[in-house]
Amino acid sequence: MGGSSTRGSARRTTSFVAAVVVGMGLLLATWDSNGGSASAAVTPGVASTTITFGQTVPKSGPAALYGQSTYGVDAYFRYTNAHGGVQGRTLRLVSLDDKYQPAVSVQLTRDLLDKYHVFAEVAVNGSAPTEGVLTVLTPANVPLIGPQTGATPIQAVFRKNLYNVWPSYVTEGKLLGSYARETLHLKKIGVLYQNDDFGKSLYDGVKDAGVTATVAISYDPSQVDFGAQAEKFKSAGCDGVIILAIPGPTISFLNAMAAIDYKPVRLMSQVSAIPQSFSAAKSEFPGSYIGAFIPPLTETGNPQVKLFLDSMPKHEPGKPASVFAAWGWTEAQVAVAGLKAIKGPITRDSYEAALNHLTGLQTLGGEVSYTPTSHAGIQKMFMVIAKHGRLAPVPGE
Amino acid sequence: MVQFGQDVIGGLGFGAIYALAALGLVIIFKTSRLVNFAFGSMGTAVAMILWTLLSAVRLPLVAAWLLALVGAAVVGALTDEALLRRIEQAPSLIQITITLGLFIGIEGLVGVLWGYTPKPLPELTSGGSLRVGPYFLTPDQLLIVALTLVLAAALHFVLERTRLGLAMRAIAQDRDTAMLMGVPTRRTVALSWAWGVLLSGLAAILVAPAVSLSPTMMDQIAVFAFAAAVLGGFGSLAGAIVGGFIVGIVGNLISAYLSTNFQLTFIFLLIVAVLYVRPHGIFGSAAQSRQ
Amino acid sequence: MLELAGVSLSFVGLTAVAGLDLRVADGTICSLIGPNGAGKTSVLNLISRFYTPQTGQVRFNERDLLKLPPHRVVEIGIARSFQSPTLFKNLSVLDNLLVGAAHLSKPSVVEDVLRLPRSRQHERLARERADHALEFLKLEAVRDRVAGDLPYGHQKLVDIGRALVADPRLLLLDEPAAGMEEAQKQWLANAIMHVPDEYGAAVLLVDHDMGVVLRVSDNVIVMNFGSKIFEGPPGEVRHQPQVLAAYLGTERGGTVHDAQA
Ligand SMILES: Nc1ncnc2c1ncn2[C@@H]1O[C@H](COP(=O)(O)OP(=O)(O)O)[C@@H](O)[C@H]1O
Ligand SMILES: [Mg+2]
């Protein structure tokens, strides 16, 4: 529903073209072998003129906002294509709406392999959906670059075909925790965390930073009324609250704190750092600290930010150059860098080999390095502060 | 104790929202015997329209409000006219499927038209929280509760004291006989749809400033409002109101003293308990649910 | 005013009304009698437009009734009571009666909600008619009771009252005396006799009770197996052998004579 119909038909054309290309490739292979020369097995998704990537992201339902990351992937692919593509091939993206439902993600991932014959996947969104997607991709040895999650079950287990781009939630939680304790010198810290891998991994990081929460409350992501939670932090006298939540609940919680005139120092996850929506929360949102790996998109002096901001209107006109798009852009940067590093025929094995030796790759979201035994994502995070509806660097850092 | 009091007060605001939405459900159910599962997404659509009127058309707040609500009423009447009238005689499973389909369809459409970025809707009142003794109240919470009670009283008046209300009550009891008596049943049912969707829209508009406006905003609220209507006997206005406040306050207390993860579980346990003691809901009568 | 000509109605495999001619004149009381299953209720249902006959004509004041949908019938002046009352069981007796006045005027919704003059005027008129019906049928004492809680006999009266509030020119009554005690029956017969004067309405009465029928009717029609087997003034009915046969054949015992006591 969320995906526009033009994208849908483009997708169908893509798959049709892909099918025709694959079919012709097979014919050629037979003809070749008749001629006596050996030929490599055909790699799915790699045709003579195109390389096809796939992804599942929510474009409708409660997490639909994250679907904006597709715009960033698309934009970076088109930017790459405009600059000659990879080995003379253009990059294509088949993006399917999984509504943030892991069962749907699994089904769609099978479709991506069987019907769309994608070469690899990039920028799959969400912890639980990614876990589902991996159950299909890992046995088939299909590379996945940049799942949009920092959850421990995904980041802490090495998988040959999985390349993380996001910092882990533990890293992020540690940053928030140590910043609250050591830089802001908060005495009584409250923690609100989502009752799933996302919230728990972040909270683990906060605890790793040596923070003992005065009050820690978990919540269900579908919850709307946060009055009771706000009241609990307030009556416990917390001077700071770390909010480990997705955007909707974050906004509701901020509004609930405002309703009881409670203004602690607020630290929150970058997952909720959506400048367009600051105005949806009352005047309490500005001044919140956010742990980030994507730099503030106002820093046009940063060449990575500038390239992103210049490319979005050019390659994805009319689509928001949001922090979510910046996620997708960053992940696409890694995926493309890996492709470009391949010498010789493009296969899944050669792709993984190339990715395994990426070092010091500079992306919009920071530096990425892989080794054959470590596929960890971006390590460096920093604090930004919400100000006048935008994210800005923390003064004096 | 102060915290307990604050938790109760906190629950009032959302309770009023549940009550309004439940009223919308009950009004429609009374005359058309249909459970309008689409009420949540219809409300969201109204709130989105209001957002457009305010941010794109730049109408003044009051004018935008009135226009959005009138729009809601018209859409309600048209929904009945165009779609639900045709499934009046259908088995209830089909009817449920259709209003559920409507719910999903509208939510998707709202997503396509307005996108999923949370949007701000301005509060009705300006200014910070009020302090009453040790308790805090927002002017909006007060306004929402007051508006809910006034609307409920007005509806009660219409239902009990006017010809239209008599028509609604007669239709609720026995539509065919009412029709034979010359009661304008079609008009009355369409009108109750107008009222019902208007109330859903109002609930959505009032809750949006607190939770931010997004296509799925009403999903959870709709579940609680449905619970409120069931608790109140699904047919009684007073029941919907009391049910709404009970769900709001008890829900808040549960998330304060147990865990938010149990909110839904406990609300439904409460419903089971109430229905066990009073099979027709707090305010329902046996005769009503026999219909 | 009411005229049925050659009306036949059959259900699957069963003829309920067979070529019936029937007339009810202005301001008169006409009774339709016959054994159970003779087709009496079916005739009333035809007039109410619940059923459409396969053949024949139904006219009311020169108007083709068959062109009207059931809910318009009351608008042209035909109201009825039912063999088993179909009251709004949760509403008060008064509200039940008021619903009867629903079609009398049509103030708009806005007028209704804001109680503008036209709506108030309608309510006043409806209240007057309801009060009159309450008095006429001796229901004042139960005015505010919930209709569904009343004894059966009272419910039947409320049903009749609701039809009277509708200001009909023709009142159809389906076995109003059934289930009533003897004294109540006599009182009801009296009331029915006064309907033409009090309400200016003709009556088409279906009832089993010969005492009531013979006392109130100007004209009696006897039906059996869907056909008219006799028509005439009440004085002649009990002497008709075919009427006796019809009753004796189906209902053991000389009902016609017994009922006369
Ligand atoms: N809706 C119907 N469907 C089938 N048969 C019917 C229906 N209504 C009445 N009948 C039959 O038509 C015949 C006449 O019924 P009815 O008019 O109710 O008789 P009465 O009122 O004289 O007792 C009966 O045999 C009855 O079973
Ligand atoms: Mg009968």
Residue pLDDT, tens place only, B133-147: 888 888 888 999 999
Provide the b/e sequence for A117-151 (b: ≥16 CB within 10 Å). Answer: bbbbbbbbbbbbbbbbbbebbeeeebbbbbbbbbb
Partner chains of A (3+ C-beta pairs under 8 Å): B
Higher pLDDT, B282 or C201: C201
Provide the pLDDT for residue C249. 55
Which segment, A258-262, B4-8, C138-142, C238-242, is predicted with the most confidence on average?
C138-142
| Percentage, residues of chain B above pLDDT 70 | 97
H/E element, A206: helix A197-208
Residue C176 has what pLDDT? 94
Q: What is the pLDDT of residue C122?
A: 86
Contacts of B107 in chain A (CB under 8 A): 60
User: A170-292 has which fold?
Assistant: Rossmann fold (3.40.50)
**Of B279, B280, B225, which Cα lies nearest the Cα of B20?**
B225
Chain A residues bordering chain B (beta-carbon distance below 8 Å)? 1-2, 60-62, 64-65, 67-68, 195, 217-220, 222-225, 227-232, 235, 247-248, 251-252, 255-256, 258-261, 274, 276-277, 279-281, 320, 322
**Ligand 1 atom closest to the CA of C36, numbered from 1:** 23
CB-based contact (8 Å) between B184 and chain C?
A: yes
Report the percent of chain B where pLDDT is more than 90.
44
Distance C9 CA to ligand 2 centre (A): 15
- Using N-to-C axis directions, what is the helix angle for B219-231 and B237-257, rounded to 10°? 120
Interatomic CA distance for residues B194 and B70, integer angstroms: 9
Strand A265-268 and strand A289-292: the pairing is parallel
Residues 6+ apart with CB under 8 A from C17: C7, C8, C9, C39, C42, C43, C46, C53, C226
Average pLDDT, chain A: 86
- The backbone torsions φ and ψ at residue A211, rounded to the nearest 5 degrees and listed phi first, read -85, 125
Q: State yes or no: chains C and A have 3 or more CB pairs below 8 A.
A: no
Cα distances from A3 to residues A60, A61, A186, B1, B216, in angstroms, run 8, 12, 44, 50, 17
**Range list of β-strands (E), chain A:** 50-57, 90-97, 120-122, 144-145, 162-163, 189-194, 215-219, 240-244, 265-268, 289-292, 361-363, 366-368, 382-387, 390-393
Distance CA B149, CA B12 (A): 12
Interface partners of B (3+ CB pairs, < 8 Å)?
A: A, C
* Cα–ligand 1 centroid distance for C174 (angstroms): 13
Query: Rounded to a whole number, what is the distance in Å from the CA of B235 to chain A's nearest CA?
Result: 26
Taking the C-alpha atoms of residue A223 and residue A204, their distance in angstroms, rounded to an integer, is 22
Provide CB contacts within 8 A for A72, sequence distance 6+: A123, A308, A312, A316, A324, A325, A326, A327, A328, A329, A330, A331, A332
A395, with CB counted inside 10 A (0-12, 13-18, 19+), is: exposed
- As a whole number of angstroms, the distance between CA A47 and CA B92 comes to 53
Per-residue pLDDT at A27 exceeds 50: no
How many angstroms separate the CA of residue C8 from the nearest CA in chain B? 23
* Nearest in space to B109 (alpha carbons), one of A60, A115, C100, C44: A60
Residue A165 is predicted with a pLDDT of 97
In which element (H, E) is residue B32 found? helix B2-32
B162 touches chain C (CB under 8 A): yes
Predicted pLDDT of residue A282? 63
Of B158, B170, B191, the CB nearest to C99: B170
What's the rounded Cα separation, in Å, for the pair B65 and B24? Answer: 18
Residue C162 Cα to ligand 1 middle (Å):
25
Least confident of A1-5, A172-176, B3-7, C70-74: A1-5
pLDDT band for A279, please (50, 70, 90 cuts).
Answer: low
Q: Measured from the CA of C40, which atom of ligand 1 is nearest?
A: 22
Binary contact (B10, A61; C-beta < 8 A): no
Q: What's the pLDDT at B49?
A: 95
ipTM of the complex: 0.83
Tokens of A293: 């790996």
Determine the residue of chain A that is closest to B252 in CA distance: A228
- Distances in Å between the alpha carbon of B273 and those of B8, B243, B250? 21, 14, 14
- Min distance A260 CA to chain B CA atoms (Å): 5
Ligand 2 centroid from CA C38, angstroms: 8
The ligand 1 site (C-beta within 6 Å) comprises: C 11, 14, 16, 34, 36-42
| Closest CA to ligand 1's atom 2 | C11
Q: Do B181 and C95 touch (CB under 8 A)?
A: no
Provide, rounded to the nearest whole percent, the portion of chain A with pLDDT above 90: 67
Average pLDDT over residues A65-84: 95
Q: Do B129 and A260 touch (CB under 8 A)?
A: yes
Query: How would you classify the pairing of strands C170-174 and C78-80?
Result: parallel
Split at pLDDT 50, 70, 90, the class of A275 is low
Q: Which residues lie closer than 8 Å to C241 by C-beta, 6 or more apart?
A: none
Chain A contact set for B215 (CB, 8 A): 60, 64
Q: Is B194 on the interface with C (CB under 8 A)?
A: no
Task: Map out the domains of chain B as residue ranges.
Answer: 2-289
SS3 C143: coil
pLDDT at C132 over 90: yes
* Cα separation, B213 vs B209, whole angstroms: 7
Tell me if A131 sits within 8 A of A149, measured CB to CB: no
CA distance readout (Å), B24 to B43, B73, C63: 10, 11, 43
Task: Name the residue of chain A whose CA is nearest to B222's CA.
Answer: A224
Is A261–B209 a contact, with Cβ atoms under 8 angstroms apart?
A: no
Predicted confidence (pLDDT) at residue A393 exceeds the cutoff of 50: yes
Average pLDDT across chain C, whole number: 90
* pLDDT at site A312: 97
What are residue B270's phi and psi, to 5 degrees?
A: -60, -45
Class of domain B2-289: mainly alpha
| Nearest by Cα to C129 from C103, C100, C107, C153 | C100
The contacts of residue A91 (CB under 8 Å, 6+ apart) are: A50, A51, A52, A53, A77, A80, A81, A85, A336, A339
Residues of C in Cβ contact (< 8 Å) with B174: 86, 88
- Residues from chain B contacting residue C165 (CB–CB below 8 Å): none
Q: Is residue A269 within 8 Å of residue A243, measured between CB atoms?
A: yes
Q: Look at phi and psi of residue A60 and say left if phi exceeds 0, alpha if psi is from -120 to 50, else beta.
A: beta
Report the candidate in B128, B120, B124, B130 with the shortest Cα–Cα distance to residue B143.
Answer: B124
Q: Which residue has the higher pLDDT, B273 or B282?
A: B273
Q: Point out the least confidently predicted range of A31-35, A373-377, B24-28, B92-96.
A: A31-35
Q: Is the pLDDT of residue A397 over 70?
A: no
- Match 């007039």 to its residue by tokens: C47
AA identity, residue B248: G
| Interchain proximity A274–B117, CB inside 8 Å | yes
Whole-angstrom CA distances from A366 to A197, A304, A311, A337, C51 are 24, 9, 18, 14, 81
Judged by its nearest atom, the ligand closest to the C-alpha of residue C33 is 1
pLDDT band at A278 (very low <50, low <70, confident <90, very high): low
Is C90 an interface residue toward B (CB < 8 Å)? Answer: yes
Q: Which ligand is nearest to the CA of C15?
A: 1
Provide the sign of the torsion angle of the four alpha carbons B251, B254, B260, B264, taken in this order: negative
Residue closest via CA to ligand 1's atom 5 equals: C11
d(CA C17, CA C227): 6
CATH number corresponding to A50-167+300-380: 3.40.50.2300
pLDDT at C45 over 90: yes
Query: Residue C104: its pLDDT value, please?
Result: 86
Backbone angles phi, psi at A219, to 5 degrees: -140, 160
Task: Round to whole Å and give the CA distance between A168 and A147.
Answer: 11
Ligand 1 atom nearest C43 alpha carbon = 17
Give the pLDDT mean for B229-245: 90
pLDDT at A2 (0 to 100): 36
Pairing of strands A361-363, A366-368: antiparallel
Q: Where are the beta strands (DSSP E) in C81-136?
A: none
What is the atom index within ligand 1 of the atom nearest the CA of C44?
A: 17
Q: Place A7 in a pLDDT band, splitting at 50, 70 and 90.
A: very low
> Residue C180's pLDDT is what?
87
Closest-approaching ligand to the CA atom of C45: 1
CB A371 within 8 A of CB A271: no
**How far is residue C24's CA from residue C30's CA, in Å, rounded to a whole number?**
6
CA distance B12 to chain A (A): 10
Closest CA to C106 of C125, C87, C93: C125
The residue nearest atom 25 of ligand 1, judged by CA position, is C37
Smallest Cα distance from B105 to chain C, Å:
31
Instruction: Provide the pLDDT for residue B228.
Output: 93
Confidence of residue C53 (pLDDT cuts 50, 70, 90): very high
pLDDT computed for residue C110 by the predictor: 75
Helices (H) and strands (E) in chain A, counts: 12, 14
- Distance CA(A22)–CA(B211), nearest Å, equals 49
For residue B234, what pLDDT is reported? 86
CA distance C110 to chain B (A): 10
